Copies of this chain bind each other. A is one copy, B any other.
């Protein structure tokens, strides 16, 4: 026997596998295939238990599909069929936990099934339903009260789902009261900055409450505006991190675990819970050869993590929606250069089409920087000047000022959409979160697109990511994808001669500080003044944000990376007279310009 394997004989043990898979919403058949394939891999690895994420069979979030009786019925049938298929595929001996949509007389449930020997041996319905941020689970689900505990190879296994561990007094306390040896926690927990640290701390706290280790498995992959980062982990009852999966990739995390009831020291009660015990196999396994613990993955840096989230969100939106390629406008500026680099990382250069659309106000450097982006990344490049189109509109309609500026952006939008219709590319919008916040974009102009990869990235972070990505390339001996001049030059929309963003906007560093407080922090005007911001600056920024709500409503979806992204995370009325700074005149308070 190789020296690295050690023999254990004394206590209940299980080889636990966590299957961190990329499910697709609505694809019951495809997701079931995923479960079968990864369970096979787990069986091949000798696992006794394998857990899949929350709603792995349906994908997450399914939104109003949950309300459609035909879908709920199909999901319930799919889990029964899956049980049979697993047995037929030689996976009957392993205990499989998988999330699915259930339906009973009381309504629909966010449920997980424990499957063994071709049948569902236990079902658990999520107790705590998140209804904040991007979540609307009260809209859909009836909460569960039951606590199934399954004895398998002498080990008592409890099951909980995602939000159940984020709320105090949840089912973990009940499992602690009942006494379990292992808790499986199945999740679809979307990525946001710094959340991985919060998760590990939380799981450690709940493991102590349960008096048992927790095996936490999370979804991976993109779904519309959400990205799931995986980051599955196994934590001992005393808060030791035993194993962890890498972020943003599908992965099977396998760990041999000692699981002894001797650890039970908790005093929590089962009051309020209906404990249901099912014994499959009460005998502990005989001693077997133990695998070495998997290596801990390297922690991603802050910028690497955000970049990976953006690449994953973009790639999965494109692929899951059946597109083969993307097209975007290359202005020579930082935003389009970063989106181009993301697209090339996500899809490969051959699937990315960059278009330079110079106008009479375009500078020489904007043309040459666009060319440089194409050369550095290897994407397909073409030039379509918009001067003739703009001249036709301006002349025929007698346009000037803002109307003339916007026509340029809109001729670019029409050009990109025409190329999309002619060649089948998905159009990427290149707007960032700062622009979207203050409405510094042209609706139906630079805002056109099926997906907006950096929609939730503040401008200052766009620069940071560009620098990080270039440095990463240099570390790997590759060509930095983003032209240095795109990073260092002052940003301009180039819709009139010598225009600079700072003509209309505060300095971006300052602007992002205000936006971070107002948008993500939901702070008021008085809070900003208390934090030392200039009253006139705060007044102006808040007014711009409030007045741009209508533009955000028609903006394409894009990957959420912050605590509060525009979209379902921040739901504000368009018609809204509330102004934090009440001394604004009423006319200015509510007048919109639809531009």
Which A residues are closer than 8 A to B by beta carbons?
A: 24-30, 59, 61-65, 67-71, 131-132, 136, 138-139, 222-224, 316-317, 320-323, 384, 388-389, 392-393, 396-403, 406-407, 410-411, 413-415, 417-422, 424, 426-427, 443-444, 448, 450, 522-527, 550, 553-557, 570-580, 582, 586-587, 590-595
Contacts and interface: CB of A to CB of B under 8 A. Distances in A.
Contacts of A582: 29
Given A321-B592, A573-B62, A403 B421 contact: yes
B61 A573 contact: yes
Contact of A415 (B388, B397, B577): B397
Given A418-B397, A422-B399, A555-B554, A573 B427 contact: no
A399 B414 CA distance: 12
Contacts of A550: 450
Contacts of A321: 574-575, 590-592
Given A70-B527, A406-B418, 10 more contacts: A30-B586, A65-B576, A68-B524, A222-B575, A321-B574, A322-B591, A417-B594, A420-B594, A420-B595, A421-B595
Contacts of A578: 25-28, 65, 71
Contact of A570 (B64, B223, B524): B64
Contacts of A426: 592, 594
Nearest to A71: B578
A542 to B, nearest CB: 11
Given A397-B415, A450-B550, A524-B68, A575 B317 contact: yes
Contacts of A397: 384, 415, 418-419, 422
A580 B69 CA distance: 11
Contacts of A224: 573-575
Nearest to A385: B396
Contacts of A574: 224, 321, 557
A132 to B, nearest CB: 6
A422 B444 contact: no
Contacts of A553: 556-557
A26 B317 contact: no
Given A25-B578, A65-B572, A68-B522, A414 B422 contact: no
